[in-house]
Amino acid sequence: MKFNTKVPEPIGFQLAPMLDVVFLLLIFFVVTQKFILNEQDLKVKVPTAPKSTEDASRAINEMIINAREEDGDLVITIDRELHTLKSLKEMLQNQIAIDPNQPVRIRGDAQMSWQRMADVISTCSQAGVWNVSFSKQMPEAKK
């Protein structure tokens, strides 16, 4: 008596489940990453200060203003866009019209003159911004 047994074809590597896992991991890491680095001007070296008791976390919808001097001129960037003091004031006034409690963080370069920093702070004040904070970094550990 002859039995008809079919030998199943060998199962190859299943690509669809692997792609699902990879895409889920990718989505997880994209959603959970912090977007602070996208808003920083890497040429700005914020001043150092000892550890403070206040929380250094960002506020929700916080606007980051990067300010530095380049060849004696004030360079202001927000989300990698260059601004003058006048355009900064207009942008802040528009934002304050939408949200009067708009938080603003100023990242001023440590080598920038105080007068330039005062100009940026004054512009924020003239635009009606009251919720202003400043970035700092921890001093480097002595070797």
Give pLDDT tens digits for 96-136.
Answer: 999 999 999 999 888 888 899 999 999 999 999 999 988 87
Per residue in 20-76, pLDDT (tens digit) is 999 999 988 887 775 555 556 667 777 777 765 555 566 778 899 999 999 889 999
CATH of the domain at 116: 3.30.420.270
In a domain, 23, yes or no: no
What is the DSSP code (8-state) at residue 48? B
| Continuous H helices in 14-142 | 15-32, 36-39, 85-98, 114-126
DSSP-based helix, strand, coil % in the chain, nearest 5: 35, 20, 45
In a domain, 16, yes or no: no
B/e letters for 65-92, b = 16+ CB within 10 Å, e = fewer, are bbbbeeeeebbbbbeeeebeeeebbebb
In a domain, 55, yes or no: no
In a domain, 98, yes or no: yes
CA 118 to chain centre: 23
In a domain, 8, yes or no: no
The number of distinct structural domains making up the chain is: 1
Which structural domain, as residue segments, surrounds residue 90?
38-50+60-134
Q: Report the C-alpha gap between 57 and 48 in whole angstroms.
A: 17
pLDDT: which is higher, 7 or 20: 20
